[in-house]
Chains A and B, each alone.
Chain A
């Protein structure tokens, strides 16, 4: 009886002291009261987040609106090497980042748009494209046509993507855990290796690379050897290697190189 009374009084005291200073013989009885008390983490501050008027992904045209469609060459250079545009965050917090080069066509755009628009919460989240609508024409010859007779007609349009480019950016009053599953689901279906990253992740990735370049214990670096044209090595290398220091072969990124 006495202990119950003590517990009750102790519980009241405990509430006053914010569950921190349990001391003395009351402690054992206080456990009963302290069991339900939990200190929750302070939720992140979203006071400075401004949601745009149209939070969902925009529909992108399948065919660009051109007066005269011109056939182009393959120009594979547009998927080789690192991205020079859209390789950093602008408004969002989380993004799908390309880990290799490749071409996105309209089907991929539709898949991304439909999945993300359906699964994200438009009241708290917004999404933005970081790639343009398909603009590069790809030609094909008709089925059953004999070879020759010039270049085929334009079949479809694609968007070239290089390593490190952001595809879709998400932001708003959400945490990564809430949108990660949707984004990974989308990233798996893209025609190149892609990862879901937050702002911090991307910064960390860049920092890791900078650190590797700084702390490399190998006295021979690709850059130095190729720039000096040691032993006439430029004979077997391309200008592409001169710029990218052996970090890429075509559209593929070679991880772990400096």
Chain B
């Protein structure tokens, strides 16, 4: 019912009234606004004021600080030394954005990560940029904007870290540096799906040993069978050579 009423009341889209009733006689009443012609209404609607688009709010972009103006305090140098040590000692350094997580969340996260031997480290971005500026990890600098946290561990334990991060929605992985290789989030995911080093080595060794073991098993069979196999092999070889010679003579 309501729908049909609305449909009747609402003017149709793209419909022009055939005749517009605007009285041009007396204009004496000033109590209310006089009814306007539809074309004038349209003109007014078309020529509305459109304000200019607002600039980005202040602080949306990081400040452009010149290198020379940065002041290094003793504390900053100390933290920088720590940072250098961290980058030397640890093989896996993951950069994670910290989105408004409270103390409880952080505590549980730390506990979960600690089980796998991953520790959480906080460094000021200013010091981080100071360190990254003159080190080989310079390309990591764009990751350190806003509140960021470092997950570090001596061995690359990506799968455990990713499973822990899946539980805590406040933390977002931005990228990681594993064995001095910078990886994106996708790269980290791919890396975590790879089998471990020992498994790969085992596969390689088994692949190599399979051939020799096969040879050994063939040699250990009955001599008659072995000689039959060898005869067949020679026949095949000879037929191949004759066919090759034939083709050579034909050409």
Chain A residues engaging chain B, CB cutoff 8 angstroms: 74, 76, 79, 101, 212, 215-218, 220-222, 225-226, 233, 235-237, 241, 246, 249-252, 256-258
Contacts and interface: CB of A to CB of B under 8 A. Distances in A.
Given A220-B46, A225-B43, A236-B39, A249 B33 contact: yes
A220 B30 contact: no
A246 B43 contact: yes
Contacts, number: 59
B40 A236 contact: yes
A226 B44 CA distance: 11
B43 A216 contact: no
B39 A233 contact: yes
Contact of B49 (A218, A226, A252): A218
A213 to B, nearest CB: 9
Instruction: Specify which of B33, B39, B43 lies most central, judged by the most chain A CB atoms within 10 Å of its CB.
Output: B43
A222 B44 contact: yes
Contacts of B46: 220, 225
B30 A250 contact: yes
A237 B44 contact: no
Contacts of A212: 49, 51
- The size bracket of the interface on B is 20 to 34
Given A225-B43, A257-B47, 11 more contacts: A217-B53, A218-B50, A221-B47, A225-B46, A233-B43, A235-B39, A236-B37, A246-B47, A256-B49, A257-B48, A257-B49
A74 B28 contact: yes
Contacts of B36: 249
A39 B54 CA distance: 39
A217 B36 CA distance: 26
Contact of A251 (B22, B30, B49): B30
A218 B40 contact: no
B27 interface: yes
B52 A215 contact: yes
Nearest to A215: B52
Given A76-B27, A76-B28, A237-B40, A217 B47 contact: no
Given A236-B37, A249-B34, A217 B50 contact: yes
A225 B39 CA distance: 12
Instruction: Specify which of B30, B34, B36 lies most central, judged by the most chain A CB atoms within 10 Å of its CB.
Output: B30
Contacts of A76: 27-28, 30
Nearest to B36: A249
B28 A252 contact: no
Interface string B235-251: 00000000000000000
B43 A252 contact: no
A249 B32 CA distance: 10
A226 B46 CA distance: 12
21 contacts: A76-B27, A76-B30, A101-B30, A212-B51, A216-B49, A222-B47, A225-B43, A225-B46, A226-B43, A233-B40, A236-B39, A236-B40, A237-B43, A241-B40, A246-B44, A249-B34, A252-B33, A256-B49, A257-B44, A257-B48, A257-B49
Contacts of B53: 217
A218 B48 CA distance: 7
A86 B5 CA distance: 52
Interface string B2-30: 00000000000000000000100001101
Nearest to A230: B43
A215 B51 contact: yes
* Closest A-B pairs by Cβ, 3 of them: A236-B37, A217-B50, A222-B47
Contacts of A218: 47-50
B34 A250 contact: yes
Contacts of A220: 46-47
A79 B28 CA distance: 12
Contacts of B50: 216-218
A133 to B, nearest CB: 22
Contacts of A221: 47
A236 B37 CA distance: 7
Nearest to A213: B49
A250 B51 contact: no
Given A222-B43, A225-B43, A233-B43, A79 B48 contact: no
A177 B36 CA distance: 41
A76 B29 CA distance: 9
Contacts of A257: 44, 47-49
Contacts of B49: 212, 216, 218, 256-258
A2 B44 CA distance: 80
Nearest to B39: A236
A250 B33 contact: yes
Interface string B168-201: 0000000000000000000000000000000000
A19 B164 CA distance: 56
